[in-house]
Amino acid sequence: MFEPGMIIQNRYEIAEEIGSGGMSVVYKAMDHVLNRYIAMKVLKPEFSDDKSFVSKFRMEAQSAAGLSHPNIVNVFDVGEESGYYYIVMELVEGITLKEYIQQNGRLNYSTALDFIIQICSGIEVAHEHHTIHRDIKPQNIIVSKNGTLKVTDFGIAKAATSNTIASTAMGSVHYISPEQARGGFSDERSDIYSLGITLYEMLTGRVPFEGENNVTVALMHIQSEIIPPREYYPDIPVGLERIVLKATQKRPEQRYLTTNAMLSDLRKIAMDPNAEVGISSVMLPTNAPTIQISTDELNAIKSAAESAGPTVFPVNQKNAELEEAKAALSSLYDDDLEYDDEKDNGKSLFDDKDDDDDDEIDSKVEKMITIGAIVATVIIGIIIIAAIISITGVFKKNKKATTETTTEATTTEEESNTMPDLIGYDEEEAIKQLDDMKIDYIIERDYTDKFEEGKVASQSIESGTELKEGDKVTLVISKGQKKGAVPDVKGKTLDEAKSILEAAGFKVDEDEEYSDEVEEKHIISQSPEGGSQAAEGSTVSVVVSKGKEVKVAKVPDLKKMTVTEAESALSAVHLKLGNVSQEYSDSVKEGQVISQSIAADTEVKEDTKIDITISKGKKPVKTTYSASFSGYISNSGYEFPEGKLVKITVTLKVGDTSYPIINDWYDEASLPLDGSSIAPYELTSKDNISLLYSVQDDSGADITGSFTSTLQAKLKTVEQ
């Protein structure tokens, strides 16, 4: 294709190949017009031959060129050279997000959150300009050296044909949306699905679906449910998991409808990792049609309800019973929802399928949701009825007990208890004391900074209060200080670190140190470490780089030293000899320092270079000559064509040396040429002086014979 040194469009000089993919080769090149390096992506020949593809490719690239955002790789130009089609883009120094994950493993949630917010910010601008990426994946996202993420490769996915998508040229299908896998219509929500898969990989270090080939993986995107990220890593915030699950819903209408909506939830998570965002607890299809429930399904509901029985469900059993009922119903559809290769009749996974197949699957999913909702309603109804019966029984029992003690109450004074002070007690001790005193109580739990976990933080009835029959005290048991995950801010600027930590609910204490590795005003280390848990509102200490430690030295006086002596004197104080120049001097001996670039006794950084000027001794006297000119060059018979010029050359020859005096173009109006207008010429010799001249037309033909010259040179001696 292109080779280093090639000049494209008289502008871009190819420097080196820096990458290659299924569809293109990327070169680093110098833009000689704007004097900057750029990246040039060149389509491979097998795609350049497809005119339809090239047309779409150019249109989409030109559309992408209209996008400008810090998180998008800017497109500068689109063109063609010798049958090769190329895009000129911003050159970003860094690695792809895929390489970053491979090098670092799964990212902590704060880094993943920072990255996905940057990516979404770029995609949001593209969507606002009605540009859909269609191939979002970590391989198309660059992590620059300063931590900024940039999305690249806009437009290539739309230009690609369905055959391209199925081939290795398109790359991995691990991030493709279900509607793209079916070969159907894709829009902004397809990008949102791919963003969700990308965030999933950042949080877990893996893609959600793996298979033997592209078709298998794409089929899993259509049919299989994603394993929630927290099942792999429970330290992932619940809110962030809910965002992933909402973005990766199978049906586009159940995802975020816009990138802006997804960004809004991500920013809420930045403020509160457990914010109520993302997928709702029950995702019901919108505008769902009326569903006809079969006799078998109704019998399953009845059977599930009868098996529950009329008794009250304990709290710790309720969820298990519901899951068991739903599992029984789900078994009705497991076989129907499996993908049947034989029914596909050999069609490509990426061919359009009949709409009836999709409707059938959606209808069955909707039936499952509806049946599950009915089962849940039946069970909840049973729970409520059983609870009422239980409460009624307690009421009757209390009434009976009251009746039995009426006689005793009339003969003795009513017992009274005084509320004890339980604040600071262990939970078990406090409950035992209340049980011994037969005081009813309610236990609540909350975070507190004042008491350790398990201690009584407050009581609803003050100590010393006389308790009456039926009084009930609420004890709040401390859950300890509320903790949150500490964001990892190492390598970030101080302003960025403070913003991230304060948004996560932490205070910031800063210290400074010199560092040879970490750039000035960037974070060297932090305590507690990123990813660890710490009490909300506590302080995170960060150490900020002051850059490399600056050591100073005093510049010595180098005057009248030789070059060797000056270099030694500088080395002794950790300075370096810079440029050495020469000039004549009447006062300083040849070979000695006349002057230095930085004055003696000035304090400078160690390793600073000091330039010196060495004496060449006294300047020798030379005899020179000045040549002045007189006379004219005139037209003696040449007819100038309209608008044409002639080139006149005059050379002063002294011995074997020639000096060009005139070499320029003249028109008819500028002749005759006056020699006195020529500046004097300085010579070192006057032997065998002669003046030569010639005239040529614009085609290079010699027309000297049509012109006459009276030019002559006069010499004047000049002493130096």
Active site residue ranges? 135
DSSP letter (8 states) at residue 566: H
Instruction: Say which amino acid occupies 71.
Output: N
Give the residue ranges of DSSP H helices in 342-481.
355-404, 406-411, 427-436
Contact present, 593 and 561 (Cβ < 8 Å): yes
| Token duo for residue 197 | 């898969």
CA angle 139, 144, 150 (to 5 degrees): 55
Contact present, 214 and 166 (Cβ < 8 Å): yes
Say how many Å lie between the first and final Cα of the chain, rounded.
61
Instruction: Give which of 246, 258, 243, 219 is closest to 361, Cα–Cα.
Output: 219
| Token duo for residue 110 | 């704060």
What is the rounded CA–CA span in Å between residue 546 and residue 529?
21
What is the rounded CA–CA span in Å between residue 224 and residue 244?
15
Contact present, 592 and 560 (Cβ < 8 Å): yes
Instruction: Give which of 202, 218, 240, 221 is closest to 98, Cα–Cα.
Output: 202
253: Cβ contacts below 8 Å, ≥ 6 apart: 189, 285, 286
Give the residue ranges of DSSP H helices in 139-249.
156-159, 162-166, 178-181, 188-204, 214-223, 229-232, 238-247
Centroid of chain to Cα 224: 29
| Token duo for residue 524 | 């060297």
